[in-house]
Amino acid sequence: MVHHTISTSTSRAPRASSKISSMNRLQRLYCVFTLLIVGTLAGCGGVPHSEPAPESGGPSIAIERAAAPGAASSFPTQPASSQVLQQARSRWMPVAWAELPGLGEDPLGEAWSAWVRSCERPGPTFAPLCADVRRLGQGSDEQRRNWMLERLQPYRVETFQSEPVGLLTGYYVPVAEASRLPSARHSVPLYGPPAQLHLRKPWYSRQEIDTLPEAQAALRGREIAWLEPLDALNIQIQGSGRLRVTEPDGRQRMVRIGYAGTNDQPYRSVGGWLLQRREVRDASWPSIRQWAAQNPGRVQELLWSNPRVTFFREQALPDSELTAGPEGAQGVPLTAGRSIAIDPGSIPYGTPVWLASTGPQLQLQRLVLAQDTGSAITGAVRADYFVGTGPEASLIAGRLKQPLRLWVLWPR
């Protein structure tokens, strides 16, 4: 699942626990993140940013507070290994378990479920551990934690310049209304990839797809569904989504669409485009929608400002999977609050990672699994936190931008 990250700051516009909570809790959480976005990093460099689009359905996220001082005092204070490990884009420094903040406080059940999913497609390093991982799926947190201490060695992830602090953002799965047939309301199609996509790099831009007969001919018959213009754009930004599709006979059904490639054109933020022209004061999705409602004749111009187009494949969505996450780049379903997208040149897919991210009102200290990537997720200490599906998830993902530290948990 390749996606872009989200920002609602007024700087350059560029995947938290999945417990279900009440709407009152959502409102409190929204306030926390509103305070967070004001006080955290603004415009951290080099990564393309994009905008959120709230739609419908999905869990809210439980916020974790800092562990009490001294909570890690019972854990080993010396690393079991002194060997520094180097990856293509990061350096791993061996550390003691006692360095990991909140290690004794994290309820590991949700993370363990994500780890069991990783064992469906394990790499050679973690495959030998999967029998134990599955067995401990029925164990206690104490048993899981003791097993980790015995079998794994934590390594602090750093840049080659010894910088251990990076950037955490969030992403989610949008849900949108769609139709199999075009209409005045549903006027923008989501396409499957054209047959000759690999022969032309980059492929036609968004404007060229809309205007050139040869581009339109190459995509004829590959329309998956038709959406409202901004809904289509948002799903292309996120890289996957769920559609409540109206069939030609009037029946409705839910389908899942997954990433199947892009036209290899550069990504440009529509929120940034509006900010540069002083059309809006912030790049939040509500502001973009409001602008579009006030300027219907310029929506096409807004869309064309981003030449990147994402292509999709349609997937069945059985009732039993309505709450499941999308498939990540590792090839397994993602788990809200426990899956992250990383740069695979820094951390291999399927690696358990201890994540610590601190903002003025928020601390995340927890076990997550590296199960996805994204075109904006590059560098040593960089992660996108998978929040979940729908409008509650979009409120969080759209405002999550804060400092990050990572520790990989590697077999001894």
248-262 pLDDT, tens digit per residue, is: 999 999 898 988 999
For the beta carbon of residue 220, count every other beta carbon within 10 angstroms.
10
pLDDT in tens, 283-319: 878 889 999 999 999 999 999 999 999 999 998 776 5
Q: Taking the alpha carbons of 110, 114, 119, 122 in that order, is the dihedral positive or negative?
A: negative
pLDDT for the residue numbered 79: 86
Q: What's the confidence (pLDDT) of residue 339?
A: 97
Each residue of 180-192: pLDDT tens digit? 999 999 999 999 9
Q: Work out the percent of the chain whose per-residue pLDDT is above 90.
A: 62
Phi, psi angle pair for 307, to nearest 5°: -75, -15
Reading the block at residue 63, the tokens are 């916020």
Q: Residue 391: its pLDDT value, please?
A: 80
Structure tokens at 234: 């948002």
Cβ-proximal residues to 388 (8 Å cutoff; 6+ apart), any chain: 18, 58, 59, 60, 61, 172, 173, 325, 336, 337
- The pairing of strands 252-262 and 310-315 is antiparallel
pLDDT of 9: 35
How is residue 72 written in tokens? 């890690």
Report how far apart, in Å, the C-alpha atoms of 325 and of each of 111, 271, 279, 402 are. Answer: 14, 27, 35, 24
Q: Which residues pair with 384 in a beta bridge?
A: 169, 341
**Distance between CA 8 and CA 268 in Å, rounded?**
15
Give the per-residue pLDDT at 62: 42
Of 334, 345, 328, 332, whose CA–CA distance to 382 is shortest? 345
Task: Provide the terminal-to-terminal Cα distance of the chain, rounded to the nearest Å.
Answer: 30
pLDDT for position 210 = 97
Nearest CA to 15 out of 26, 25, 7, 4 is that of 4
Positions in the chain whose pLDDT score sits under 50: 5-72, 361
